Amino acid sequence: MSTLNLTPEQGGLTAALPQYKMMGPKLYLNGFPKSGLHLLWTWAAQFVAEPAYTPKPWAGSFQGNAWTTIWSDSEIMFKKLSTLRHGTYLKGHCGYRADIEQYMIDHRFIHLFIYRDPRDVAVSQAYHILNANEARGDYGAVLYHDGADDIKRMAKGDFDYILAACIAGYGPWAGVIERWELYAPWLTRNWVLSMKFEDMRTKPRDIARRMIKVIYGSNAAMHGFHLQLYKHDVDKAVDNLLHNADEARDKSPTYRKGQPGGWRTHFTADHIDLWKENDPSDWVTRLGYSWE
């Protein structure tokens, strides 16, 4: 339970706002693979007390650790989604489907979705494959990619070859754009808070402020209230969120400190041609990025 200053919708704003004890939000943290889901978690964890369940609060929608376009068993996924309670969170790589969206709306989820320049996604995925299925870091965590061994064997350690496999796909391991198109409809849902990885890195205060207002405001609205936030309180909350998130960020077993636009140092002319061949809808431009 959390205590928030709230103004009842029917009462209008007052100088002395009443106190109302409210259950915490149900947060579903969604990210296209290698777009910064852990970064999103370090921010969103400030709003909830605990995961929906342990040890892995995860409810994703695709088989093969989301490196395929094969949908997971719906019954299993909805069973995992049903564990989300007030004041807890779930994470996942979740593609869009109307039945999934309706379930989340009916059960009052607050859905946060992070995405990224898909070319940087391909680079990050290539590094992921290079390190996959081997122990890594102080936590002994393993980066899972069921097809990594086959791809590395095929590529003979050649990064350019692995990057090409990420772009075009290899066997059941679909290419970046083929997988992205199953997530893209979330961007058109006005009840979902969609955020670019790049914006979270380059203008964190603006995005943190937006997240605070959306999460607290949406949770209040679900209880029939309009939330009045004071600027001083929001500024302080932004400071705390970013400080705590920065301390938590390095605990990720998959965090590589990739920089926005890093694709420029990895894409060859052949990679660019291969990308455009596999991105006929030009998602690079549609998402607000450029080849310039």
Q: What is the pLDDT of residue 177?
A: 98
CATH code, domain with 152 = 3.40.50.300
Domain coverage including residue 263: 22-286
The answer to whether residues 227 and 7 touch, using CB atoms and an 8 Å cutoff, is yes
Residue 2 DSSP SS3: strand
**Residue 88 within any structural domain of the chain:** yes
Q: What's the whole-number average pLDDT of the chain?
A: 87
Residue 163 DSSP SS3: helix
96 vs 71: CA distance, rounded Å: 11
**Residue 148 within any structural domain of the chain:** yes
Q: Give the 3-state secondary structure of 120-151.
A: HHHHHHHHHHHHCCCEECCCCEECCCCCHHHH
Q: Which residues of the chain have pLDDT under 50?
A: 1-4, 6-15, 135-141, 254-256
**Residue 10 within any structural domain of the chain:** no
Cα distances (Å, whole numbers) of residue 176 to 63, 117, 183: 15, 11, 11
- The structural domain count of the chain equals 1
**Residue 5 within any structural domain of the chain:** no
Q: What is the pLDDT of residue 8?
A: 44
Q: What is the pLDDT of residue 171?
A: 87
Q: What is the pLDDT of residue 145?
A: 63
Span 186-218, pLDDT tens digits = 999 999 999 999 999 999 999 999 999 999 999
By C-alpha distance, which of 81, 131, 137, 130 is closest to 109? 81
Q: What is the pLDDT of residue 5?
A: 52
**Residue 1 within any structural domain of the chain:** no
**Residue 7 within any structural domain of the chain:** no
222 vs 113: CA distance, rounded Å: 19
Q: What is the pLDDT of residue 1?
A: 37
